Chains A and B, each alone.
Chain A
Amino acid sequence: MKFLLFVDKNGKVEKIHWSFPKDLFKVGQCIGDPFQSFSGETISTLIANVFAEELSDFITVQLTCNTENIPVSVYALKVQDSVMVMGFNDEQEKEAIFFQFIKIYNSFVNSTRKEYKKLISEREESVRFKFEEIQVLNNELTNTKRLLEKTVAQLNLANSVLKKHLIFDSLTGLIGRYQYWAQVQAEIIAEPEKFGVFIFIDIDDFKYINDTYGHTFGDQYLIEFAKRMQTFPSKESIKIRMGGDEFALYYHGFDHVDNATIQTIWEEIQEYVISQPIKIDEFVLPVSLSAGMAVYGKDAFDIATLIEYADFAMYQTKRHGKSGYTLFDQATFEYENLRRKK
């Protein structure tokens, strides 16, 4: 008698690999059925124990068969969700069957190992794939950041060009009309108790230069005029191009302003701007200007009024024959205002 079966945890036959006698077992019946009741119970208990305790070793029991008493060795081994049961009663045959069993066992272990390896390599593959995905995302992120930084740099460049245009007059390089207010204000805020002088300058007969020699020539004249303003030794002054042929200067930081102060400023203008004629190509043109001055801290206490007064004084110079300067006078200003209203 010999057999190799697979049974479930309750001892129900699932698969018959081989058995002798051939019809000893049937699929679906209990493994203990062909045996005497006592032996059938013993084999069922054995299977239940093997299944519950997950034994993977051999267990031998002696059984008595239905028709005759035969000692049968039974080996049980848990294999996944089943129990493999092998039985035989011949000692010689026992060895051969044992080797066959080992062969089956080995092939089972090998196939399990193969599955496990496949599982691991699939896991490695998926890990590698995840890393590649991360790398791709990281590359995208870096490229986006690069593009962003590049755009920021381009924007910064455009901003600095714009700022330059706003602060400085593009023709002469002097402080432009959009920025001078803030600069004058900054100087006043820094030293509010000090006095300042605003000088409004208008080039005399510039229209004649433009009309006679053309606008390009006129521009060159303005550039040369501005260059001379830049050479003033008093570096602290703000040099402004108000627009067209109108320029301005602002000095701040005086402890007091009197006629001598005004005279010094005018002499500086005469020496550095007016004294030498401007030469462009073969043409030599004398420089003449009309200026008007107003004092911050005395005539006016805000920038708008200060500029208005200096502008008024400049027009006084124009009215009195150009080429010179006028210091703002409150009485004249009020008189002129009254006269205009009449």
Chain B
Amino acid sequence: MDIYIDVFQEAMLEVGNLWHQDIITVDKEHACTAITQMVMTELYPIIFSVPRKGLSILACCVGNELHEMGVRMLCDVFELKGWDSIYIGASVPSENVTNAIIEHHPDLIALSVTMPHHLKTCAELIEKIRANPFTRYVKIAVGGRAVNLVKNIDELWNIDVVTKTAPELVLWAEKEFK
């Protein structure tokens, strides 16, 4: 798990900072992202051969997010812990999310919001999941930059957990699904 947190995540944060400070151009930022993604795919044979626990997580980016690497990394970390992950991507319509929950019946779903203007979409999605009798019992975790900007979001939204980092969510999930 260290390589995800100490290398990949650190590298991506650094690249983001350099871009914000105008030290690197957008092409370099995209190249760094692509290279990191390529290196991460090399780890797939390892993370997917970890013995399975019989638990699964379904994850998606809420809104039209280009930066979906964080959620994918979260899924990879869960795979490393023996969970099966279903990553359904970014900007998925809410019906598709509820359908995916019904199809895969995951133990936990993780919703990530990076841009603040997508918080409303996320809130609506959670409402829909909770209103559907076939999906309302799934545990919901939320995270991402936009979510972490809002105070007491766990009181505002009908969710089970909000975490700042992937390891935090893994720790919570390991306890919750002992």
Say yes or no for A145: interface residue by CB 8 A criterion.
yes
**Contact (A139, B90) CB under 8 Å given A131-B27, A153-B49:** yes
Complex: A138 Cα to B34 Cα, angstroms = 7
- Out of A134, A146, A153, A154, name the residue touching B72 (CB < 8 Å): A146
B41 close to A142 (CB less than 8 A) = yes
The interface size bin for chain A is: 20 to 34
- Out of A128, A138, A154, A156, name the residue touching B26 (CB < 8 Å): A128
- Which chain A residues lie closer than 8 Å to B82 at the CB level? none
- Identify which of A139, A150, A154, A156 gathers the most chain B CB atoms within 10 Å of its CB: A139
A-B contact pairs, 23 of them (CB 8 A): A127-B26, A128-B26, A131-B27, A135-B34, A138-B34, A139-B37, A139-B66, A139-B89, A142-B37, A142-B40, A143-B87, A146-B41, A146-B44, A146-B75, A146-B87, A149-B41, A149-B44, A149-B45, A150-B44, A150-B85, A154-B48, A157-B49, A157-B52
Say yes or no for A132: interface residue by CB 8 A criterion.
yes
- Out of B30, B41, B49, B90, name the residue touching A134 (CB < 8 Å): B30
A135 close to B33 (CB less than 8 A) = yes
Say yes or no for B154: interface residue by CB 8 A criterion.
no
- Which chain B residues lie closer than 8 Å to A142 at the CB level? 37, 40-41, 72
B:29-54 near A, CB below 8 Å:
30, 33-34, 37, 40-41, 44-45, 48-49, 52
Say yes or no for B107: interface residue by CB 8 A criterion.
no
Say yes or no for A152: interface residue by CB 8 A criterion.
yes
Total A-B residue contacts, Cβ distance less than 8 Å: 54
Say yes or no for A102: interface residue by CB 8 A criterion.
no
- Which chain B residues lie closer than 8 Å to A104 at the CB level? none
State the interface size on chain B (CB cutoff 8 A): 22
Question: Closest residue of chain B to A140, judged by CB?
Answer: B89
Complex: A146 Cα to B84 Cα, angstroms = 12
- Which chain B residues lie closer than 8 Å to A145 at the CB level? 41, 44
- Which chain A residues lie closer than 8 Å to B48 at the CB level? 149-150, 152-154
- Which chain A residues lie closer than 8 Å to B66 at the CB level? 132, 135-136, 139
Complex: A154 Cα to B86 Cα, angstroms = 13
The 10 closest A-B pairs by CB, nearest first: A153-B48, A149-B44, A142-B37, A131-B30, A145-B41, A135-B66, A138-B34, A150-B48, A153-B49, A131-B26
A135 close to B44 (CB less than 8 A) = no
- Which chain B residues lie closer than 8 Å to A131 at the CB level? 26-27, 30
- Which chain A residues lie closer than 8 Å to B89 at the CB level? 139, 143
A135 close to B30 (CB less than 8 A) = yes
Complex: A305 Cα to B100 Cα, angstroms = 58
Query: What 1/0 mask marks residues of chain B from 69 to 113 whose CB sits below 8 Å from any chain A CB?
Result: 000100100010000010101100000000000000000000000
Query: What 1/0 mask marks residues of chain A from 115 to 131 whose CB sits below 8 Å from any chain B CB?
Result: 00000000000011001
- Which chain A residues lie closer than 8 Å to B33 at the CB level? 135, 138
